[in-house]
Amino acid sequence: MAFKKTSELLNIGAFLSLVDGTPGSTTVNLPLSSLDREVFVITDVSLDHSPLQEPLPAQNAQITASVNRNGTGIVYLNAPDCVAHTQFTIDVGPGGQFLTQRNSYPDESTSGTSRDFLSIIATPDFVLAGSYSTSAGGAAPRNVYARITGYRAVADAATYSALVVEEAGF
């Protein structure tokens, strides 16, 4: 892959407010110039969320989120457009609380070398998608937070074209 680093590391943050039972997404713009064939090379991702309200016995609460190169739905790591994914679940059974947290890249980092990265975004935005649900319904909204760290780079024409085609799904 042929690209040249043109910036120092940048931190780009995003948040998404989620209503109980209603999936949501937000598009975050990146400081890229398509005329200059700029891409964003992601080196680190952190995902977090508001604390979940502890459900009553025999109820549960779940928050799921993903950072996507495109698409507004939640995707998992097996999807080519998924940069990071997290899921947090609280289940309260008759015998007490059972807590499950499944994370994929909740706080993922690379080695820091210029050849090590998690993903490359060639289009000038990314998507934070999420859902929050409780079995009782009607809980107060919760937020999902993402911080993406990376750098801008200029790709050669062939690499840039291939990355854009892959993201666009042609």
DSSP reduced 3-state for 167: helix
Neighbours of 127 (CB within 10 A): 22
Given this model, what pLDDT does residue 105 score? 47
Query: In this structure, are strands 10-18 and 119-121 parallel, antiparallel, or unpaired?
Result: unpaired
CATH of the domain at 156: 2.60.120
Please name the residue that has the structure tokens 């210029």.
114
Query: In terms of residue numbers, what domain contains 109?
Result: 3-168
Per the model's pLDDT, the better-predicted residue between 15 and 170 turns out to be 15
**Residues 44-71: pLDDT tens digits?**
998 989 887 766 777 788 899 999 998 8
What is the number of domains present in the chain?
Answer: 1
Asked whether residue 103 carries a pLDDT value surpassing 60, the answer given is no
The continuous run of DSSP H or E covering 162 comes out as: helix 157-168
